[in-house]
Structure 1
Amino acid sequence: MNNPFDITKAVDFTDEQIIEYWVDISSKGGFKDLLKPTSVMPMILLGSKGSGKTHLMRYFSYELQKIKYQENLKKGLEDDKFIGIYVRCSGFNSERFSNKGQSDEIWSSVYAYYWELWLAQITLNSIIDLQQKNIVEIPNEKELVEQIIGLLNKKPDDNVPSNLKDLVHFFSSLQRKVDYEVENCIFNEDNKLYIDILVSPARITYGLPVIMTELVPFFKDKIFLYLIDELENISENQQKLIQTLIREKNTSCTFRIGARLYGVRTYKTLGSGEENREGSEFEQVVLDEFLRRNNKNYADFMRRVCEHRLRRNGIYFSEEQKIDDFIESFNMESFFQKVKSKKPSQAQSYFSKLKEKLRGRMAEDEINSIIVNLSSDNVLIERTNVFLFYRAWNDLSKKKNQKEKKDLVQISLDIKEEALNYTPESKNEKNQQATVLNKFKRDIIDMLARETRENIPYYGFDDFLRMSSGTPRNLLNILKHSYKWTYFNEAKEAFRNKIKINLDAQTKGIKDTIDWFFEDNRIPAKKDGKLVDCIDRLGKFLRELKYSDIPPECSINIFGLNLENLSDEARRTFNFLENYSYIVQSEEDRRDKNSNNKYRTYNINGTIIPHWELSLSKRGIVILSTEEAESIFNLNQSDKFEELLRKRKKRYNAPFAQSSLSEQQPKTLFDL
């Protein structure tokens, strides 16, 4: 099996593969406009796992510039106006620079020194490579090297470098000395580090580009772009160095700092401890939000990403075809036929449930009459009739004047008459069935699937896009696992010879992707690991409302809450889950049209939404009261969750016990 979607992490790609698998988001400025590589304003680029952050940053590095412009590298760099210096923080093995009997202050100095030596070598090696390719001419290399050595607080006593290669060897020898002392200090009798700090923090990082632009004509109109990735892999104390680099910017270089959503631990700088501020010292971009907010571009972008992968693996489409054509879509008629073919006890379990709720409230013959009136040859209409009956029953329970109340049997007769007038093409807004199906059609299909023990339909490329929640790796993983199951089930490779990924393979692929998501986003600490239980409570809460007799909203997916009213513990949990991408912000703040209260709106990450059989469409919003939100997100109040959920469900399930005003929760109000 040659799975085109097997590799989903950019760190697993070679430099050549980064180029081969590159797809831009638009035909105009694309990701270059997002990253702004020639802007001197530093940028912190945040992104969840799989958002494409590393792929993007590596693409703008010098190593990739060489491959992109191999036929005419000089012209390519002249056009780019920058030299990309890519660094992964994980390459530092930063955990070495802590503890071992040394103070944080000492480690901070050693780490900053080590950084200068390391980054200097990476930068100089790029310049040497350009020199060897006859792209860069250095009028006086000895003078250049002298000026760089002049950045040190103490010049070497002997073997002073006279060219760039020797200078790299010199810095490398200093780095090895630091490595030796760091690894062996614990074995010293006095437990001390014997390291001469020869350069101040940021001195080479900033000074080297300045010297280059002054002494080498090629660099006069170019900027050194430091691409520092995986910031989350260094400690808070070590991140102060990066924040210092951001603060002390000059016009010869700039920084693009890549980090996970939870990766920035501090904005404080070394020394004074001043804090950098977004909009003043740096610009911040959240890659996931950028992709989600550009929904139309994202859909087109991901189609091209996936189709490009298929072509790279020898699978080609005609101009009229697209990837969607090879992923089986949900067929409603086939689904309804499958439901009708089941035993009545299973195919019409909604009638059994209704009978149980009516027993004890009326005679058996009346119940049978209601069931007959609500019955239909059309499965969708029949289930819609039951939905309408529950609605009418709820309205009836609210009326205090007995004269205004209709008999439930008569209500079922009215629904029957309406059903006879319904046609799929009907645009009669007064028809009850047409009105309900206009908004709740997918919900009723999901109810049918759940009641008849069929899989909730999450099928087709469009659904995969919604599930990915703006994170490309999520989509690639769904395709990866679905492709695998097609091969296992049929001994055939999808997309080749017109083989489609069928519904069964998609269902299994989605399940495997959900398992991957929970494992990949596993929160390691014992206490923090319990925070995942909170997302399960949230999913259960929304699922119970969605599959109630009269759901408060259609396509339940989005929830709103007032974070300011939550306890510190609940707020910490919520932010934690958002940083780990279990929860994503859905829209801008919204106001309740009844109370005028302001709520932020969110949804569970689409990749794991099928775990709770929720909707992918973003329409109905469920507003969580402060008490409900505390029971979900506050580990100390989770024992209240089941009781609060039971109270909330009472309002949406027959026999519809009406809550007192003090028990009523905020209304769920607006369709997006």
Structure 2
Amino acid sequence: MINSNPFSFAKASDYSDEEINKLWIDISENFVEAVIEPTLRKSKFILGGKGTGKTHLLRHYSYNATKLRSSNLTGLDIVNQHQSLGVFLRANALDASRFICLNDIDISKWQQLFGVHLELKLAEDLFSILIDIEKTTPNVKFNNHDFIKLLSTYVLNENEFSNLVDLISVKNWIHQQLKKIDNAINAYAFTKSLDIIPPFSLGTFSIKIKNAIDIWHPSFKNIPLLYLIDEIENFYTESQQEIINTLIRYSSGSVTFRISGRLYALKTYSTIGNGEENREDVEFKKTYLDDILQEVSNYKDFAYSFVKERLVYEKIIDSNSFNLSKCFENVNKNNHYKEFIDYLNFNNGKDFKFINGFIETLKEIPNIIEPNDIEELLNILTRDFSIILKKHNILRFAKEYKSDESYLATANKIRNDCTLFIQDPKDPSIKSYRDSYSSWRKDLIAQLNKESSKPMIYAGLDTFIEMSSGNPRNLLSILGAAYDLARFKNIDFINGKPLSIEDQSKAVLDSARFIFEQDSNFGRPSDLARDAVKNLCELLRVARFALNIPEVSPLLISFSDEGLTKQSKETLQSALNYSFIFEIKNGRPNRNNLKINRKFSLNPMISPIYGLPISKRGDIGLPPNLVNAIFDFNRAKEFEALLKNYNIKWNQPFTRDESSLAHNDLFNF
């Protein structure tokens, strides 16, 4: 193994354009074009959680990255072939905190200065591109004279600008204007006076420059100019984001913006001077990358190629034909998980907590199950069956029990179905039993895993891909943790024996804790969201490890938000913003009315911390009082009481009379 970790992730902004191209893998055909939409005649916000590839997408579409992919072409040919001119700018390159006004008097001055500074930075990068196009396209005449002449009409000192003779001199002029702004800001610290006259009015230079470019060479007349601005959240104040909104309002169809940001990045849609708000689908469009990535049908294929490309790039493997899945040991599902259950190392079947817990549950309800029938009932459900089938039969009994039917008859029906299932799993007469086992087996194995002394197992590359939820950074986080652990233990799982399920699970847990506890600290909103999600995880944990598991693979919840408190709504939105949870678009039809309840999934990257599933199956419907108790920190004590009630409800399926229960912690092991 090499010392450097091939799966370590740096900020995309730290990669060179060459690395952006070298490590690039298309998720699907025309995926980039579908997100960027270069011919769209309105601007676009591209929003997504950390690691969804926002920066990669913008940089991939920039002229500088495109040039490296077409090194045999002239600059003009590259633009004509690509049919767009992409100018990439990182928002943090402006150091926007310098432009925050500290009094109420000069707010407009600082806002205007920030806007002019932004336009100059965009123009600076644009001129670097134009200079490169001119340099790499010999024997083609570019009309520098008329280009500069028209530009001069956009600035306040037209005579000074008209004396410029070529693109390099214009770029030098831009440098001088940027330096003047820097000097004025530095002087303000001492003089408390912002003494500078901007070289042009806001929205004049960066937008109208397209008219001059069309004169510079006629090839550009049908080429859209795209300003690709990355990480808009680094424009910290509403007044700074009003500048972007104003430029969007000023821009024409041939000059548009593609602006990336986190889910919480946008602070306002207003323009400057208390102007109108820009309207979605009129002045701009919005795209949410998380939603797109989670719906990509071939994400698994992309993930395999994405990982292999890194290993090839680092020369750890020779080709993309390498079978990556063989690097990771998988849980053997054959013979009812016998090999895995042997690994769990249960000493004595009589000591199974789930058996003892089931017996105690039957005993605690008087006159429901006759005490003399308990042993017979247990034998019917479990005798001579494998451990996981014992658990499944007990779960089936909990779900099929009816007070007006013979419980022994119900148990015998389950036993008969189980026997037929063992003899012929495809027997059509036991479809219900077969489907039940297929649905619940992962939850049942998780319960056995929890009952053992072994760590909760999350193993296999396909498991990691599913956990990542369409986010390549999440996948790299897991694989990076696995590589670090293997390197520490001197294990070459790439070219040697596969990494054990236990080592994989340790790496997954480390990655989960990093993502949830260290990589998402953004102050009080993220802290409140994290605490709320911990509450949600506790509820889902009670559900998954209950005797009567309420839903298959409990990872989803649904509810109406009509009765939510203001604090609950704010914390819920923060949990979405920081990708602790995801919203499922189609929602859940309310059984009592025609309305659609909102439906949410826990981010599966958090699941290992609480032993939760990673697959999205059934959702648990929650009433408003429980949702408020989860998401409103003012109701913490109420949550504890409600959680206790749900623990009772899901662990005692044989009565609805909670007052008759002797205890409620039988399955809280």
* TM-score normalized by the length of structure 1: 0.90
Matches within 5 A, 1:25-424: 25-26=27-28, 28-73=29-74, 74-101=76-103, 103-134=106-137, 137-155=140-158, 160-188=163-191, 191-234=192-235, 235-294=237-296, 296-316=297-317, 322-331=323-332, 332-339=337-344, 341-344=346-349, 348-359=352-363, 361=366, 366-373=373-380, 374-393=382-401, 395-396=402-403, 404-406=404-406, 412=411, 415-423=414-422
One-letter identity of the residue aligned with 1:372: N
In the alignment, the residues of structure 1 paired with residue 138 and residue 38 of structure 2 have an alpha-carbon distance, to the nearest angstrom, of 21
One-letter identity of the residue aligned with 1:9: K
Q: Partner of 1:214: helix, strand, or coil? A: helix
In the alignment, the residues of structure 1 paired with residue 155 and residue 219 of structure 2 have an alpha-carbon distance, to the nearest angstrom, of 25
CA-to-aligned-CA distance 1:81-133 (integer Å, 9 cap, x gap): 11210001111110010134463212111111211222221111211121122
One-letter identity of the residue aligned with 2:455: N
- Residues 495 and 246 of structure 1: is their aligned pair in 2 closer, same or farther, counting only changes over 3 Å? same
**Aligned residues of 1:555 and 1:618 also touching (Cα < 8 A):** yes
2:22 counterpart of 1:20: yes
**Aligned residues of 2:45 and 2:258 also touching (Cα < 8 A):** yes
- Residues 100 and 177 of structure 1: is their aligned pair in 2 closer, same or farther, counting only changes over 3 Å? farther
> What residue is the counterpart of 2:662 in the other structure?
none
Shift of 1:279: 1.1
Shift of 1:156: 5.8
Structure 2: give runs of 5+ residues left out of the alignment: 659-669
**Aligned residues of 1:299 and 1:465 also touching (Cα < 8 A):** yes
**Aligned residues of 2:89 and 2:228 also touching (Cα < 8 A):** yes
Q: Partner of 1:539: helix, strand, or coil? A: helix
Shift of 1:51: 0.1
Aligned residues: 644
- Residues 302 and 158 of structure 1: is their aligned pair in 2 closer, same or farther, counting only changes over 3 Å? closer
CA-to-aligned-CA distance 1:306-360 (integer Å, 9 cap, x gap): 11112212244778753223222111331122346434465x1111212333446
Q: Partner of 1:422: helix, strand, or coil? A: helix
One-letter identity of the residue aligned with 2:399: R
In the alignment, the residues of structure 2 paired with residue 318 and residue 54 of structure 1 have an alpha-carbon distance, to the nearest angstrom, of 27
Shift of 1:140: 4.0
- Residues 149 and 245 of structure 1: is their aligned pair in 2 closer, same or farther, counting only changes over 3 Å? same
In the alignment, the residues of structure 2 paired with residue 53 and residue 620 of structure 1 have an alpha-carbon distance, to the nearest angstrom, of 31
In the alignment, the residues of structure 2 paired with residue 182 and residue 481 of structure 1 have an alpha-carbon distance, to the nearest angstrom, of 44
2:548 counterpart of 1:543: no
In the alignment, the residues of structure 2 paired with residue 336 and residue 158 of structure 1 have an alpha-carbon distance, to the nearest angstrom, of 79
> What residue is the counterpart of 1:619 in the other structure?
617
Shift of 1:77: 2.1
> What residue is the counterpart of 1:481 in the other structure?
481
> What residue is the counterpart of 1:668 in the other structure?
none
Instruction: Identify the match of residue 550 of structure 2 among 538, 548, 552.
Output: 552
In the alignment, the residues of structure 1 paired with residue 443 and residue 40 of structure 2 have an alpha-carbon distance, to the nearest angstrom, of 48
Instruction: Identify the match of residue 530 of structure 1 among 528, 531, 539.
Output: 528
In the alignment, the residues of structure 2 paired with residue 477 and residue 363 of structure 1 have an alpha-carbon distance, to the nearest angstrom, of 53
- Residues 32 and 415 of structure 1: is their aligned pair in 2 closer, same or farther, counting only changes over 3 Å? closer
Q: Partner of 1:171: helix, strand, or coil? A: helix
> What residue is the counterpart of 2:666 in the other structure?
none
One-letter identity of the residue aligned with 2:181: V
Instruction: Identify the match of residue 570 of structure 2 among 562, 569, 572.
Output: 572
One-letter identity of the residue aligned with 2:586: E
Matches within 5 A, 1:430-579: 430=430, 433-489=433-489, 491-496=490-495, 498-526=496-524, 528-579=526-577
Q: Partner of 2:92: helix, strand, or coil? A: helix
2:569 counterpart of 1:591: no
Which stretch shows the higher mean deviation, 149-158 or 2-11? 149-158
One-letter identity of the residue aligned with 2:468: S
Shift of 1:150: 1.9
**Aligned residues of 2:152 and 2:162 also touching (Cα < 8 A):** no
In the alignment, the residues of structure 1 paired with residue 593 and residue 656 of structure 2 have an alpha-carbon distance, to the nearest angstrom, of 20
Structure 1: give runs of 5+ residues left out of the alignment: 397-403, 661-672
Which stretch shows the higher mean deviation, 318-327 or 7-16? 318-327
In the alignment, the residues of structure 2 paired with residue 156 and residue 287 of structure 1 have an alpha-carbon distance, to the nearest angstrom, of 47
In the alignment, the residues of structure 2 paired with residue 536 and residue 637 of structure 1 have an alpha-carbon distance, to the nearest angstrom, of 14
- Residues 451 and 41 of structure 1: is their aligned pair in 2 closer, same or farther, counting only changes over 3 Å? same
**Aligned residues of 1:556 and 1:615 also touching (Cα < 8 A):** yes
In the alignment, the residues of structure 2 paired with residue 371 and residue 251 of structure 1 have an alpha-carbon distance, to the nearest angstrom, of 74
Q: Partner of 1:563: helix, strand, or coil? A: coil
CA-to-aligned-CA distance 1:5-49 (integer Å, 9 cap, x gap): 1235312211110010011122x3231232122332211111110
In the alignment, the residues of structure 1 paired with residue 541 and residue 64 of structure 2 have an alpha-carbon distance, to the nearest angstrom, of 49
- Residues 365 and 486 of structure 1: is their aligned pair in 2 closer, same or farther, counting only changes over 3 Å? farther
One-letter identity of the residue aligned with 2:446: D
Which stretch shows the higher mean deviation, 366-375 or 117-126? 366-375
One-letter identity of the residue aligned with 1:224: L
Over the aligned positions, Cα root-mean-square deviation in angstroms equals: 2.5
In the alignment, the residues of structure 2 paired with residue 652 and residue 25 of structure 1 have an alpha-carbon distance, to the nearest angstrom, of 42
**Aligned residues of 1:9 and 1:473 also touching (Cα < 8 A):** no
In the alignment, the residues of structure 1 paired with residue 178 and residue 318 of structure 2 have an alpha-carbon distance, to the nearest angstrom, of 52
Q: Partner of 2:446: helix, strand, or coil? A: helix
Q: Partner of 1:194: helix, strand, or coil? A: coil
One-letter identity of the residue aligned with 1:309: R
Which stretch shows the higher mean deviation, 213-222 or 574-583? 213-222
Q: Partner of 1:201: helix, strand, or coil? A: coil
In the alignment, the residues of structure 2 paired with residue 273 and residue 158 of structure 1 have an alpha-carbon distance, to the nearest angstrom, of 31
**Aligned residues of 1:57 and 1:227 also touching (Cα < 8 A):** yes
CA-to-aligned-CA distance 1:474-495 (integer Å, 9 cap, x gap): 0111111112222223x13332
**Aligned residues of 2:52 and 2:473 also touching (Cα < 8 A):** yes
- Percent of pairs with identical residues: 26
In the alignment, the residues of structure 1 paired with residue 431 and residue 137 of structure 2 have an alpha-carbon distance, to the nearest angstrom, of 78
Which stretch shows the higher mean deviation, 93-102 or 465-474? 93-102
In the alignment, the residues of structure 2 paired with residue 8 and residue 157 of structure 1 have an alpha-carbon distance, to the nearest angstrom, of 44
Which stretch shows the higher mean deviation, 357-366 or 277-286? 357-366
In the alignment, the residues of structure 2 paired with residue 469 and residue 419 of structure 1 have an alpha-carbon distance, to the nearest angstrom, of 35
> What residue is the counterpart of 2:661 in the other structure?
none
In the alignment, the residues of structure 2 paired with residue 561 and residue 240 of structure 1 have an alpha-carbon distance, to the nearest angstrom, of 35
- Residues 632 and 580 of structure 1: is their aligned pair in 2 closer, same or farther, counting only changes over 3 Å? same
One-letter identity of the residue aligned with 2:536: L
> What residue is the counterpart of 1:666 in the other structure?
none
In the alignment, the residues of structure 2 paired with residue 476 and residue 203 of structure 1 have an alpha-carbon distance, to the nearest angstrom, of 43
* TM-score normalized by the length of structure 2: 0.90
CA-to-aligned-CA distance 1:511-543 (integer Å, 9 cap, x gap): 121122124543432465233110000111111
Q: Partner of 2:650: helix, strand, or coil? A: coil
